[in-house]
Amino acid sequence: MGIFVVMLGPPGAGKGTQAKLLAKDLNIPHVSSGDLFRDHLGRKTELGLLAKGYMDRGDLVPDDVTVGMVVERIGRPDCQEGVILDGFPRTLSQAAALDGALSERGQSVTVVPLVQVADEEIVKRLTARRVCRNCGAVYNLVFNPPAVEGVCDVCGGELYQRDDDNTETVRNRLYTYHKETSPLIGYYFAKGLLVEVDGKQAIEAVQASLRVVLEMAGK
Ligand code: ADP
Ligand code: ADP
Ligand code: ZN
């Protein structure tokens, strides 16, 4: 049946940080729609250039473009046994498209951890986020600093601040989350798939909670 985990929660809740750890533990890919868009942007593809305006404002990229990109990714051979989805779905229409794509393969979403963090904490986290240009490792100047300032612990790459991690764009991303993405909480709750996790705990404690959630889901 495979393991299909949808990491739900506001921007900055720690979905990516946790998804990377879980993916390593379960030996399945971590698929982040934001990372896929940033990869396109780096390669200056048509899709990347289209996405840029939405990302810079903190608005959602249109569903058809986003769904096409993610469904193609999870259709590849390395995703047949499962995947940790992070940042997708973000609208009800994306969630329905995901269900459709999985059911065509005789599969379905296994569990949806909802990582909860209050808005004020999120603004603090995201404005202090730094990302490795080379390997994508995620740091935080306050909560999870690298050993050497500006340098990735994992690969020695240069750390940078995402263009959309400024206070104004973060506020719009939070607004967008509450308006467009929070209806997914009810959607997955109704399917019996939603499990809340306290995202304010330390990174290791959140990871331990998620492991329990996955064990309870039978994985
Ligand atoms: P998301 O993928 O949900 O946007 P990230 O995993 O990128 O979130 O985390 C956002 C920021 O918060 C990063 O700087 C990360 O290092 C930091 N962070 C992640 N988890 C925690 C935590 N449990 N406590 C404090 N800071 C965290
Ligand atoms: P974060 O985890 O900090 O919220 P992401 O990397 O997930 O940031 O997303 C960055 C931006 O990419 C979003 O603000 C949005 O513009 C775009 N994006 C990512 N995933 C989606 C999606 N599923 N639907 C629409 N837009 C998306
Ligand atoms: Zn790195």
Domains defined along the chain, listed by start: 3-117+178-216 (3.40.50.300)
Per-residue model confidence (pLDDT) at position 1: 76
Instruction: Identify whether 129 is a catalytic site residue.
Output: yes
How much is the average pLDDT of 98-103? 98
Please name the residue ranges forming H helices in the chain: 15-26, 33-42, 46-57, 63-74, 92-104, 119-127, 167-176, 183-190, 203-216
Dihedral class, residue 71 (left if φ above 0, else alpha if ψ from -120 to 50, else beta): alpha
As for ligand 2, residues whose beta carbon falls within 6 Å of it are: 11-12, 16, 33-34, 37, 54-55, 58-61, 66, 87-88, 90, 94, 164, 173
Q: How confident is the model at residue 43 (pLDDT cuts 50, 70, 90)?
A: very high
Instruction: Identify whether 219 is a catalytic site residue.
Output: no
Q: Give tens-digit pLDDT for 10-21.
A: 999 999 999 999
Q: In angstroms, what is the span from residue 203 Cα to ligand 3's centroid? A: 19
Q: Which ligand is nearest to the CA of 62?
A: 2
How much is the average pLDDT of 146-162? 98
Give the global pTM.
Answer: 0.97
